[in-house]
Structure 1
Amino acid sequence: MSAQLDSLPLRHVLTLPAMGSAVRIVRETTEQVLAEWGISGRHPLVDPALLILSELVTNSVRHAAGLSPNVTVIYAAGSDTFAFAVHDRHPHKPALFSTVTGTGDSSGLGTVMELTLGLGGTAVIRGDADGKGKSIWITLPL
């Protein structure tokens, strides 16, 4: 994680089998974690964050399950930042920003990037040290 993410004091990690039910469980867990951290379900960030997470987890389930039997969601937050990552063990790293320019395969990533950038957030892909997996990190201002 970057220094900015390392400084976020609140953490939660969820690992699930890479199957369709993971999307629902991630949404429910996200709502619960945010509530525990004092972020109201009515906060304007919550619905877009849930949609972003749903798209990222759906992509992991659809495209990575063959090589990655699990998907992991990492949550982090501080007073003015909510960050989360979806991790799988598939080596393919999609070109996030080509989905915004229309030059890449969107598979939901266009929506992810549009929402993230529209909220003033950032997105980055971090590869695993062994090159056999990646995390897509989204950081959003609260």
Structure 2
Amino acid sequence: MMDRIEHWGDAHHPAWMDTVRIALGVFLFAKGISFISDTTQLSRLVTGLDLHLYTVAAVHYVAFAHIFGGFLIAMGCLTRIASIIQIPILLIAVFFVNFRMGFSYLNSEFWISMITLILVVTFSIVGSGRFSMDEWMKNHDN
């Protein structure tokens, strides 16, 4: 099943999607840097969820996943895996964090999280594309 999904994704990946993938990766990387620079805001968001998670572990997971995953997505290296790692974070952001703020059209964080979630799910299916490190390594395998 995974091979069929991977083959379908590789066959149906237009070149303009690579630009979207790179922009998504850069955005996630920048968001991770932003979380590291202001850990108190992220701690406040995670603590307010009342999921009884270890706040410090959750903050580090989110920051690490966004920085490392965003870099991999932008480079097109292990894009599917890096995208799948982002999905739980974005699901929590969309349905738990933004739920407290309200699902209005004025809540820009909700829309950013929702669009990012849709893009991450899309790239977990279609993969990295033609202009990626994965493709380069496949073509230059010695």
Q: Given the two structures, how large is their TM-score scaled by the length of structure 2?
A: 0.34
Query: Which structure dedicates a bigger proportion of its chain to helix?
Result: 2
Q: Which has the larger radius of gyration?
A: 2
Which protein is richer in strand relative to its size?
Answer: 1
